[in-house]
Amino acid sequence: MTDGTRTQVVIIGGGPSGLLLSQLLSTVGVDSVVLERKTKDYVLGRIRAGVLESGMVDLLRQAGVSDRMDKEGHPHDGTIIASGEDEFRLSFRERTGRPVMVYGQTEVTRDLYAAREAAGADLRFEVEDVVIHDAKSDAPYVTYSAGGTTHRIDCDFVAGCDGFHGVSRKTIPDDVRQEFEKVYPFGWLGILSETPPVHDELIYATSERGFALCSMRNDALSRYYVQCDLSDRVEDWSDNAFWDELKRRIPSRFAEALVTGPSIEKSIAPLRSFVTEPMRWGRLFLCGDAAHIVPPTGAKGLNTAASDVHYLFNGLRDFYNKGDSTGIDSYSERALARVWKAERFSWWFSTLIHRFPDRSDFDARMQMAEMAFLRENDAAQQAMAENYVGLPY
For the question of residue 75 being annotated catalytic, the response is no
Q: Which of 390, 385, 392 is nearest to 93 (CA)?
A: 385
Q: Specify the amino acid at residue 186.
A: F
- Using DSSP's 3-state secondary structure scheme, residue 34 falls into strand
For the question of residue 320 being annotated catalytic, the response is no
The H or E element spanning position 312 is helix 301-322
For the question of residue 393 being annotated catalytic, the response is no
β-strands 51-52, 74-76: how paired?
unpaired
Preceding peptide of 278 cis, ω within 30°: yes
- Asked whether the beta carbons of 214 and 199 are under 8 A apart, the reply is yes
Angstrom distance (rounded) from CA 215 to CA 66? 22
Q: Which of 103, 296, 311, 354 is catalytic?
A: 296
Angstrom distance (rounded) from CA 345 to CA 367? 15
Q: Which of 103, 141, 184, 204 is catalytic?
A: 204
For the question of residue 388 being annotated catalytic, the response is yes
Q: Which of 103, 311, 320, 388 is catalytic?
A: 388
- Asked whether the beta carbons of 242 and 189 are under 8 A apart, the reply is yes
Q: Which of 76, 266, 292, 354 is catalytic?
A: 76
Angstrom distance (rounded) from CA 275 to CA 343? 9
The H or E element spanning position 130 is strand 128-133
β-strands 178-193, 221-228: how paired?
antiparallel
For the question of residue 40 being annotated catalytic, the response is no
Angstrom distance (rounded) from CA 89 to CA 144? 51
Q: Which of 74, 199, 292, 300 is catalytic?
A: 300
Neighbouring C-beta atoms of residue 309, cutoff 10 Å:
28
Residues 6+ apart with CB under 8 A from 233: 268
DSSP 259: P
Q: How far does CA 54 lie from the centroid of its chain?
A: 14
Q: Which of 159, 186, 166, 197 is nearest to 50 (CA)?
A: 197
Q: Which residues are catalytic?
A: 76, 204, 296, 300, 388
